[in-house]
């Protein structure tokens, strides 16, 4: 497995460069919202994290976040 591949629970191989993954707090800060608001968006299905760790913590790529927001704008 290459350095930029991670296998989680043997079911998926995810290709991310670790520096590209953001925490929920980092994403909330970039969006200018409270982290609890981001968590609510995830619960409501408005945003989907790029990766959910076995611990339940979410990780995001900024590109995924922007694409999801663009898609939602196009639907409205």
Digit-coded pLDDT (tens) for 16-57: 565 689 999 999 999 999 999 999 999 999 999 999 999 999
Query: Domain extents for the chain?
Result: 21-74
What b-and-e string marks burial along 22-42, b requiring 16 or more CB atoms within 10 Å of the CB?
bebeebbeeeeeeeeebeebe
pLDDT value for 53 = 96
Backbone Cα Rg of the chain? 13
pLDDT value for 15 = 60
In the predicted model, is pLDDT for residue 8 greater than 70? no
CATH of 21-74, one of 1.10.1660.10, 3.40.50.720, 3.30.2310.20, 3.40.50.12780: 1.10.1660.10
Under a CB-based contact definition with an 8 Å cutoff, are residues 32 and 23 in contact?
Answer: no
- % of the chain with per-residue pLDDT over 70: 75
Q: Sign (positive/negative) of CA torsion 62, 67, 70, 76?
A: negative
Which residues lie below 8 Å from residue 10, measured CB to CB, with a gap of 6+? none
pTM for the structure as a whole? 0.73
């Amino acid at each position: 497995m290459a350095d930029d591949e991670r296998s989680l629970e043997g079911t998926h191989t995810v290709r991310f460069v670790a520096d590209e993954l953001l925490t929920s707090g980092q994403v909330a800060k970039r969006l200018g919202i409270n982290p609890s608001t981001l968590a609510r968006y995830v619960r409501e299905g408005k945003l989907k994290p790029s990766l959910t760790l076995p611990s339940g913590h979410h990780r995001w790529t900024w590109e995924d976040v922007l694409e999801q927001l663009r898609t939602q704008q196009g639907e409205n």
